[in-house]
Amino acid sequence: MRILLIEDDISVADYIGKGLRQSGYSVEHCADGEQGLALAQKSEEYDVLVVDRMLPNMDGLTIIQTLRAADNKSPVLILSALGEVDDRVKGLKAGGDDYLVKPFAFVELLARIEALLRRQKSSTSETKLKVADLEMDLLAHKVTRGGGGFNLQPREYKLLEYLMKHAGQVVTRTMLLENVWEYHFDPQTNVIDVHISRLRQKIDKDFDQQLLSTVRGAGYMLRDPEIQ
Amino acid sequence: MIINKILASYTFRFLWAYVIGLSVSVLIVLMLVYATYSYDYFKQLQGAVADEIVALEEVYENTGFGGLERFIGEKIEKGELNRFYYLVVDQEKRKLAGNLDDWPIYRRYDDGWLEFHLEILSWNDQKRELRFIGRSEEIGDGYRMLVVHHHGEFRGYAEAIRGALVRSMMVTIVLGTIGGAIVAGLSVRQIDRTNKTLQSIMSGDLSDRIESASMRGEHKELALNINLMLDRIQQLMEGLRQVSDNIAHDLRTPLTRLRNQLSDMQDQAVSDREDRVQPLIDEADGLLSTFSSLLRIAQVESGSRRAGFTRLDLRIILLDVIELYEPLATDKAIRFVSSLQAEAFINGDRDLLFQAFANLIDNAVKYTPENGCVNVELGSAGEEAFVTVTDSGRGISAVDQGKVFERFYRVEVSRSLHPGNGLGLSLVSAVVKLHYGHITLSNNQPGLRVEVRWPLVD
């Protein structure tokens, strides 16, 4: 898995690079906008691009627009500092796939990169999701586990769908808010935990195998405990 | 009404009191003039009468009664009847000489002067009442002589002057009052305008200024000075905000590094130390989230998010917030009631409005005890949409209600009982202002009632 990191802040770049390499990615770093674009155009092999908005010589949004105009479909994660223009919509319209405000915890960045990679792999034509014995039929809107069905509220269904689509991956609270509730905001309390524990009550309570776990300091993960 | 405002205004009352005061002083001065003048007049009159008596006595002494009678007769003949009237009587008060018919009934003063009035026929047969002043003297042989002078004309003048005085005083007071009302009206209008602007500034819009172009004189000077003061306050506040934002901004990077290094340490640590690192990471996360909140408030206050405003339905956003927080309330056995009207469109930023409602409902749930009740309402009144969030918690005292929107302000009791950074309501207030709305807190007895109002759009 190759990641191109275009970021001019050396300390941020070092920290992201180090973390990603430890997680098993190969990272190439570039501190200049124009050079970064050239690198991205030269090789279409990068699995994910991590691009800062404010860069010397060429800003991040221009890089993305140029790549998209040349039909380069590599997923892009945009980094932006809060206090600068926080314009998520503009970033996503320019062709970015996700948008993260600095500073962020590394787990947040990692979770998002993994989500982007997953999105790349999974085809949209999937009609069934499966994690261990938990199954979701996307067409019939039905969830079953071990033969028995569940009665899920619409939001619980959406939450479970997102978790299942990212099975085996850490999903952060902000990712859930952005993708399941579709609001970008900062919950001040453990409000997401309550929804997760409700969902857990429904899908895990009567089973020996616990699929939905909390990852301390990061978020949640739904996974088949037999697959490591 | 403007009339009531004018009448109640200090300027008007001051001017009115001034007019009354001035009238009273003028009255006193004129009364003094009148008193002095009449004193002199009577003194002269008395002098003339006394001289006349002395002259008559001399005539009597030198020439006897016959001479006196002749003398008086000559005086009357000479047409001096306008000035003096004479009467000489014997012991039985029978007329012996003079141009008065009967001995009059008079008032005698302590100093010997007499005063009386008589009706006489004037030249055109009209009755006139004349007042007289004079003296009577014994002139020997049991004869008494009366010499008097009438002062009716003086009285007439005095009456006329007094009438004119009273009338002009009335006119002065009436005109003074009207003038005072006009002056007060002008001043009330200017001060009213100044006060309205100041109220709007106090309610949060520090960029507003008093419109001084149409003002004159001291009012204009005052308005200009207030505006200069506001400029200065705004500068200072901006500077202060800039400093705190810079602090938040600059401290976040080292904090992030600290947090990540702790996280690295946790990954590498042996299991017993891992538990000791987690609280440190939590602390760092808390600090980071405080800084993020500060910067988010600063960003909202800068107004730049207005560029992305779209028309949106408050009902949909509220339903989403309620759905998000409902389980939290249920876990605390809090009754969560909502009554939302069909739709209410305003121009706004969906994420920020969601954040504001989330903060309000989060607070309501947090501060409401178990088995309590939280109520959310959406409605509209006139041109405005309103959202109220009420809870049955312990509420906020009137003193604290004005302060809870300040950054980092926390009500003393909640400091120890509930976690938080004291920025939640500051952000709500910033978001509401960004949307041209108003937020008010009131007592729900028990609990808190928060009401937010925004201008509706079609």
Q: Phi and psi (nearest 5°) for B21?
A: -60, -45
Same domain, A99 and A51: yes
Please indicate, yes or no, if residue B176 is contained in any of the structural domains.
no
Inter-chain touch A217–B296, beta carbons under 8 Å: no
Q: Distance of CA B382 to CAs B343, B389, B439, B454, Å?
A: 14, 20, 17, 11
Same domain, B338 and B420: yes
Inter-chain touch B320–A85, beta carbons under 8 Å: no
Same domain, A116 and A152: no
What is the domain-level CATH number for residue B356? 3.30.565.10
Q: Which of B244, B249, B255, B260 to mutate to test the interface with A (most CBs of A within 10 A)?
A: B260
Same domain, A119 and A6: yes
Please indicate, yes or no, if residue A227 is contained in any of the structural domains.
no
Residue B182 identity (one-letter amino acid): I
Same domain, A31 and A79: yes
Same domain, B111 and B227: no
Q: Which helix (H) or strand (E) holds A144?
A: strand A142-145
Inter-chain touch B295–A82, beta carbons under 8 Å: yes
What is the domain-level CATH number for residue B42? 3.30.450
What is the domain-level CATH number for residue A215? 1.10.10.10
Q: Give residue B390's pLDDT.
A: 94
Q: Give residue B400's pLDDT.
A: 83
Q: Which residue of A has its CA nearest to B295?
A: A83
Same domain, A103 and A12: yes
Same domain, B136 and B116: yes
Residues of B in contact with A103 (CB under 8 A): 252-253, 255-256, 288
Inter-chain touch A191–B249, beta carbons under 8 Å: no
Same domain, A204 and A113: no
CA–CA min distance A41, chain B (Å)? 31
Nearest by CB to B308, from A89, A107, A186: name it: A89
Q: Per DSSP, what are the bridge partners of residue B88?
A: B97, B145
Q: Give residue B312's pLDDT.
A: 93
CA–CA min distance A193, chain B (Å)? 9
Whether residue A185 lies within 8 A of chain B, CB to CB, comes out as yes
Whether residue A154 lies within 8 A of chain B, CB to CB, comes out as no
Q: Phi and psi (nearest 5°) for A185?
A: -155, 175
Same domain, A86 and A164: no
Inter-chain touch B351–A89, beta carbons under 8 Å: no
Please indicate, yes or no, if residue B180 is contained in any of the structural domains.
no
ipTM computed for the complex: 0.84
Same domain, B315 and B447: yes
Same domain, B269 and B344: no
Same domain, B313 and B281: no
Neighbours of B81 (CB within 10 A): 13
Listed residues B301, B328, B347: the one ending a domain: B301
Same domain, B238 and B358: no
Same domain, B11 and B95: yes
Same domain, A34 and A83: yes
Listed residues A67, A102, A123: the one ending a domain: A123
What is the domain-level CATH number for residue B246? 1.10.287
Inter-chain touch A186–B281, beta carbons under 8 Å: no
CA B64 – CA B71 distance, rounded (Å):
11
Q: Give residue B271's pLDDT.
A: 65
Please indicate, yes or no, if residue B206 is contained in any of the structural domains.
no
Residues of A in contact with B260 (CB under 8 A): 15, 19, 105-106
Please indicate, yes or no, if residue A7 is contained in any of the structural domains.
yes
Same domain, B285 and B325: no
Whether residue A45 lies within 8 A of chain B, CB to CB, comes out as no
Q: Which helix (H) or strand (E) holds A178?
A: none
Contact A65, A95 (CB under 8 A): yes
Residues of B in contact with A86 (CB under 8 A): 299
Closest CA to B133 of B156, B154, B160, B161: B154
Same domain, A58 and A100: yes
CA B48 – CA B45 distance, rounded (Å):
5
pLDDT tens track, chain B, 458 positions: 678 888 888 888 888 898 889 888 888 888 898 889 888 888 888 888 888 888 888 888 888 888 888 888 888 777 654 568 888 888 888 888 887 778 888 888 888 888 887 777 666 777 777 788 888 888 777 788 888 887 767 777 778 888 888 888 888 889 988 988 888 888 888 888 888 888 877 766 677 888 888 888 888 888 899 889 988 888 888 887 777 777 776 777 777 778 777 777 777 766 666 677 777 877 887 887 888 888 888 888 877 778 788 999 999 999 999 999 999 999 899 999 999 998 899 999 998 999 999 999 999 998 899 999 999 999 998 899 999 999 998 888 888 887 888 888 887 766 666 777 788 899 999 999 999 999 999 988 888 999 999 999 88
Nearest by CB to B260, from A83, A85, A106: name it: A106
Same domain, A119 and A132: no
Please indicate, yes or no, if residue B99 is contained in any of the structural domains.
yes
Contact B259, A103 (CB under 8 A): no
Listed residues A90, A108, A123: the one ending a domain: A123
Residues in Cβ contact with B124 at an 8 Å cutoff, skipping those fewer than 6 apart: none
Please indicate, yes or no, if residue B102 is contained in any of the structural domains.
yes
CA–CA min distance A185, chain B (Å)? 6
Listed residues A123, A146, A172: the one ending a domain: A123
Same domain, A25 and A118: yes
Please indicate, yes or no, if residue A102 is contained in any of the structural domains.
yes
Indicate the burial class of B52 (C-beta count within 10 angstroms; 0-12, 13-18, 19 or more).
buried
Please indicate, yes or no, if residue A228 is contained in any of the structural domains.
no
The encoded tokens of residue B221 equal 């000077």
Residues of A in contact with B325 (CB under 8 A): 191
Same domain, A109 and A24: yes
Whether residue A150 lies within 8 A of chain B, CB to CB, comes out as no
Listed residues B282, B301, B320: the one ending a domain: B301
pTM for this model (two decimals): 0.65
Q: Specify the number of domains making up chain B.
A: 3
Which residues of chain A fall below pLDDT 70?
Answer: 44, 82-86, 120-125, 228
Same domain, B10 and B148: yes
Domain that holds residue B451: 304-455
Closest CA to B355 of A149, A218, A178, A184: A184
Burial A185-200 (b: 16+ CB within 10 A, else e): bbbbbebbbbbbebbb
Q: Phi and psi (nearest 5°) for B338?
A: -135, 140
Listed residues B135, B157, B179: the one ending a domain: B157
CB pairs under 8 A between A and B: 80
Q: Which of A191, A199, A200 to mutate to test the interface with B (most CBs of B within 10 A)?
A: A191
Q: Phi and psi (nearest 5°) for B127?
A: -75, 135
Please indicate, yes or no, if residue B272 is contained in any of the structural domains.
yes
Domain that holds residue A105: 2-123
Q: Give residue B204's pLDDT.
A: 64
Residues of B in contact with A83 (CB under 8 A): 245, 249, 295, 298-299
Same domain, B275 and B312: no
Q: Give residue B348's pLDDT.
A: 92
Q: Distance of CA B187 to CAs A7, B10, B222, B352, Å?
A: 63, 10, 12, 44
Q: Specify the number of domains making up chain A.
A: 2
Residues of B in contact with A187 (CB under 8 A): 324, 358, 362
Please indicate, yes or no, if residue B260 is contained in any of the structural domains.
yes
Whether residue A183 lies within 8 A of chain B, CB to CB, comes out as yes
Inter-chain touch A183–B255, beta carbons under 8 Å: no
Please indicate, yes or no, if residue A217 is contained in any of the structural domains.
yes
Whether residue A83 lies within 8 A of chain B, CB to CB, comes out as yes
Whether residue A85 lies within 8 A of chain B, CB to CB, comes out as yes
Q: Give residue A125's pLDDT.
A: 67
Please indicate, yes or no, if residue B209 is contained in any of the structural domains.
no
Whether residue A93 lies within 8 A of chain B, CB to CB, comes out as no
Same domain, B276 and B380: no
What is the domain-level CATH number for residue A76? 3.40.50.2300
Whether residue A195 lies within 8 A of chain B, CB to CB, comes out as yes
